[in-house]
Structure 1
């Protein structure tokens, strides 16, 4: 195989078996091939979009859960602080 930028070896026309009249015709892809590949691209794009939408919904749920967890932790901390203040200490002299 010739390297890029070099010309192929010269061909002797008297011994060449190449006949341009019998050369294969270039074949263009059928219209249905374009349609099918286009449909495949669209299906893949919609599948990716659906996956992204599902991940977005999952992320939203996770954010809501994190907010609820933080709220619960704050309420728990508040209650713990309240219960510590409301229980009399055994060393409290004011009783």
Structure 2
């Protein structure tokens, strides 16, 4: 996942709420790239790209930076266990 999680922390440090940062990096980013018909939200007919983590990113966005917190990765509806 590269530096995406660090970018989310920077958004929060810049004044966004954790939820605003998550929305900016998912649905807003998809809309800006004109991919919002495929991805960016969890809905029927959309790609199922989901990250399940141990922790609450709304309480502490930095939980997304520790790969040890990743419980499950889902890409296009296929579930993968993370490599720890």
TM-score by length of 1: 0.16
Give the strand-richer structure, 1 or 2. 2
**Larger gyration radius, structure 1 or structure 2:** 1
Give the TM-score of the pair, scaled to structure 2.
Answer: 0.18
